[in-house]
A and B are shown apart, each in its own frame.
Chain A
């Protein structure tokens, strides 16, 4: 039923190339997260899927049919806008019924649908209020009800949880996921929040500078990042620049490190997740250091370890006795070291030590 496919989408605003050769397919009933830092083109991509922007080149297929040139008002897509954008001059009821009225639905039918959608988001009593009388969380629910009311099974959400405070946001995450599964909705949800992505997504599409950096399930992206950017953006990682000794050995600051993956270049970048580093002493793969800071995060503690002026991030719950000033040994297990070529370092934000 509802699926959407993009083929080689390009989009520029003036000289600014916002989307570069984007292709992917979203299957019926999938919950897709478009993840990426601000300015990576997520919203542009979503609006292009909705027909609000026309791509410079490429094709948009909806349910198998080419809709690239179809007006967005004829596509029947539920679209949720960042900051909601409820019509400020209409009541909650008028907002939710707007789409049905436009379609010329019968009054009784419209009223029944509005009741049902408002019940779904728990705001039946608020039907006759104006948007400005509602809290942010309530407005978010109205916007959702409005998008759902036109009866589309395809829902595009632009940062739906961002403007809310953390507690409500987390609560609404669960509701969103349950609703999507219950009504068999196909959802494409844009967010810069990695945690939100991991919790909601069937599949994550990671965007970077208008390109797809990686696409896959959260597990795949976490365990097998194919670009250094995915290792950086999904979960926290340390990046180390090392020299090749042989196929499975590298050198970093006079220490030898074994790696599982093959090393094909003279200089490589090693990535390791913060929680994979162990406070252990081994013959290889070990760096000594002093704990600089320790941040208690609840379930775990994040340590910043100073290794001769370079800093590594380590996260664990196993050593509550470690305090700033303690001297420690850091073991970087060979199977957890991911090898990237330096050409893959497509991001300046990443600090390489």
Chain B
């Protein structure tokens, strides 16, 4: 084996870690990439409509990424630099909301906003926009916006302001400083964010099905093929999606390393003028667009649906077996998947952060790959994999959720563990503590905020996922899947809206909890 020492020399903790690696590989990692085993087969078919769907998806994702960068950059800049901003915590929460609200709820909200909401504003009964590529792009901007803002914000926060001041002292106007000094320094965060947005947009399924109409994208066509039992076609599209995701990751690494934004060419006069004149207009325009395109559509369903919160609707919702069953099942799957992932993630976070058995890098990359696989491809892959076993459907659903939520659990914990100085643990060791005591008294308190963050992220992801869930289950429907179902059948009524508001409120509660955990974590540093 790759260990190079016999099992007799391994402590019990080592055994636990090894076992975790095995379980992780077999149950969490293998199923999402199972579809790749079809790659060599002669049965793959990439027909004309698949090609069109793929091209559609790429165009939409590219457009979404471009708009996100344009709108997200100023917002990220503000969040990174204006730490004293009034109501900062509120803006912070608003930005993160689309991240936790189930995309199917967002789909409904965006549809009503651009349809009925804006339509009535312009006196159009049919709505301002109908289902189709433009509404699809607007929806994707909404749920990808937090990714671009957070990635860029993190990178900008890393820049030492003195670099920019140095450029200023050398005579550079603000725009030149931004282009020649700041931008090259946060470029890697920008590229990472753009890739996240692109892959996320490429892979989203549930909400996409809601607003795409007759327009087909790669993820909707995978679902269609799956329904028609046309596995070779579905597999072909999935494999293309995975390949694109991997290619993007590789090119990102190359781009952020070697690619240089030219600094030699400067346009001092033009940039000096631009630096002065347009700043207030720019800020006002960006704020307007962010509110119109991202925030209002996100919250529209709550704002416009408040009138459904009546005792009668509540009773209707409680009595509605399908909705209540789905809600309960969603929560159960979420809790079970989160619990198992927590147990599995802690030893694996150790493996990653301490590079145990020299497998840290491999396990880390494996978690990255799971994150990268587009969920529609992931769903197909999972269903193909688990079909080989005659498990009950609920169990398969839990196992599927284990896979795609795992990275969200292990990433924050391993990052926190890597941040714990080994000196502290060594110090405890010299004071006579054994490994278990060290974990309980030293390590655990230090990584607790990361664990809580992991739990919340995992649970919310499980609660809101549609694409993979849709592919895996035939009969059992989680709440977001049921919402997609009801919507596409045109059966949305008051109690459905109320169910959406309940999910929205739950998401809001979770995001507030997450913010509190984060602020505690920051207070410690």
Binding stretch for chain A, among B134-142, B168-176, B206-214, B279-287: B168-176
Q: Does A8 contact B (CB under 8 A)?
A: no
Which residue of the partner chain, among A52, A78, A90, A94, contacts B168 with CB atoms under 8 Å?
A: A52
Taken together as a complex, chains A and B put the C-alpha atoms of A147 and B181 apart, in Å, by 16
Q: Does B264 contact A (CB under 8 A)?
A: yes
- Report yes or no: B171 in contact with A79, Cβ–Cβ below 8 A: no
Question: What chain B residues lie within 8 Å of A77 (beta carbons)?
Answer: 169
Binding stretch for chain A, among B158-166, B293-301, B477-485: B158-166
Question: What chain A residues lie within 8 Å of B181 (beta carbons)?
Answer: 87
Q: Does A311 contact B (CB under 8 A)?
A: no
- Report yes or no: B171 in contact with A89, Cβ–Cβ below 8 A: no
- Min distance, Cβ B342 to any Cβ of chain A, angstroms: 39
- Report yes or no: A85 in contact with B170, Cβ–Cβ below 8 A: no
Q: Please judge, given known A-B contacts A52-B168, A73-B169, A150-B171, whether A101 and B264 are in contact too, CB under 8 Å.
A: yes
- Report yes or no: B260 in contact with A89, Cβ–Cβ below 8 A: yes
Taken together as a complex, chains A and B put the C-alpha atoms of A72 and B165 apart, in Å, by 9
- Report yes or no: A87 in contact with B163, Cβ–Cβ below 8 A: yes
The residues in A between 48 and 90 inclusive whose CB is less than 8 angstroms from any CB of B are 50, 52, 71-74, 76-79, 81-83, 85, 87-90
Taken together as a complex, chains A and B put the C-alpha atoms of A47 and B168 apart, in Å, by 12
Q: Please judge, given known A-B contacts A89-B184, A89-B185, A101-B266, whether A76 and B171 are in contact too, CB under 8 Å.
A: yes
Q: Which of A73, A74, A78, A147 has the most CB of B within 10 A?
A: A73
- Report yes or no: B176 in contact with A72, Cβ–Cβ below 8 A: no
Taken together as a complex, chains A and B put the C-alpha atoms of A52 and B172 apart, in Å, by 13
- Report yes or no: B185 in contact with A73, Cβ–Cβ below 8 A: no
Number of interface residues of B (CB under 8 A): 23
- Report yes or no: B166 in contact with A73, Cβ–Cβ below 8 A: no
Taken together as a complex, chains A and B put the C-alpha atoms of A83 and B163 apart, in Å, by 10
Q: Please judge, given known A-B contacts A104-B268, A104-B269, whether A83 and B162 are in contact too, CB under 8 Å.
A: yes
- Report yes or no: A146 in contact with B268, Cβ–Cβ below 8 A: no
Q: Please judge, given known A-B contacts A85-B160, A88-B185, A94-B263, whether A103 and B169 are in contact too, CB under 8 Å.
A: no
Q: Please judge, given known A-B contacts A72-B169, A73-B173, A77-B169, whether A102 and B162 are in contact too, CB under 8 Å.
A: no
Question: What chain B residues lie within 8 Å of A83 (beta carbons)?
Answer: 162
Q: Which of B165, B166, B173 has the most CB of A within 10 A?
A: B166
What residue of chain A has the Cβ atom nearest to residue B173's Cβ?
A: A73
Q: Does B290 contact A (CB under 8 A)?
A: no
Which residue of the partner chain, among B169, B173, B263, B264, contacts A79 with CB atoms under 8 Å?
A: B169
The residues in A between 147 and 173 inclusive whose CB is less than 8 angstroms from any CB of B are 147, 150
Q: Which of B167, B168, B169, B268 has the most CB of A within 10 A?
A: B169
- Report yes or no: B170 in contact with A102, Cβ–Cβ below 8 A: yes
Question: What chain A residues lie within 8 Å of B165 (beta carbons)?
Answer: 47, 52, 72, 79, 81, 85
Q: What are the interface flags for B489-505 relative to A under an 8 Å C-beta threshold, 1 for contact and 0 otherwise?
A: 00000000000000000
Question: What chain B residues lie within 8 Å of A72 (beta carbons)?
Answer: 165, 168-169
- Min distance, Cβ A81 to any Cβ of chain B, angstroms: 5
Size class of A's contact patch?
Answer: 20 to 34
Taken together as a complex, chains A and B put the C-alpha atoms of A94 and B163 apart, in Å, by 14
Q: Does A31 contact B (CB under 8 A)?
A: no
Question: What chain A residues lie within 8 Å of B176 (beta carbons)?
Answer: 102
Question: What chain B residues lie within 8 Å of A81 (beta carbons)?
Answer: 162, 165-166
Question: What chain B residues lie within 8 Å of A71 (beta carbons)?
Answer: 168, 173
Q: What are the interface flags for B170-195 relative to A under an 8 Å C-beta threshold, 1 for contact and 0 otherwise?
A: 11110010001100110000000000
Taken together as a complex, chains A and B put the C-alpha atoms of A103 and B173 apart, in Å, by 10
Question: What chain A residues lie within 8 Å of B169 (beta carbons)?
Answer: 50, 52, 72-73, 77-79, 147
- Report yes or no: B263 in contact with A85, Cβ–Cβ below 8 A: no
- Min distance, Cβ B185 to any Cβ of chain A, angstroms: 7
- Report yes or no: B264 in contact with A85, Cβ–Cβ below 8 A: no
Question: What chain A residues lie within 8 Å of B168 (beta carbons)?
Answer: 52, 71-73
Q: Does A210 contact B (CB under 8 A)?
A: no
Taken together as a complex, chains A and B put the C-alpha atoms of A173 and B240 apart, in Å, by 63
Q: Does A331 contact B (CB under 8 A)?
A: no
Question: What chain B residues lie within 8 Å of A103 (beta carbons)?
Answer: 171, 268
Taken together as a complex, chains A and B put the C-alpha atoms of A76 and B171 apart, in Å, by 7
Q: Does A192 contact B (CB under 8 A)?
A: no
What residue of chain A has the Cβ atom nearest to residue B184's Cβ?
A: A89
Q: Does A99 contact B (CB under 8 A)?
A: yes
Question: What chain B residues lie within 8 Å of A82 (beta carbons)?
Answer: 162
Taken together as a complex, chains A and B put the C-alpha atoms of A87 and B160 apart, in Å, by 10
What residue of chain B has the Cβ atom nearest to residue A96's Cβ?
A: B170
What residue of chain A has the Cβ atom nearest to residue B271's Cβ?
A: A102
Q: Please judge, given known A-B contacts A89-B185, A94-B263, whether A102 and B172 are in contact too, CB under 8 Å.
A: yes
Q: Does A98 contact B (CB under 8 A)?
A: yes
Q: Which of B171, B172, B176 has the most CB of A within 10 A?
A: B171
- Min distance, Cβ B433 to any Cβ of chain A, angstroms: 37
Q: Which of A72, A82, A85, A90 has the most CB of B within 10 A?
A: A85
Complex A-B: 6 CB contacts under 8 Å: A52-B169, A72-B165, A73-B171, A79-B166, A89-B185, A103-B171
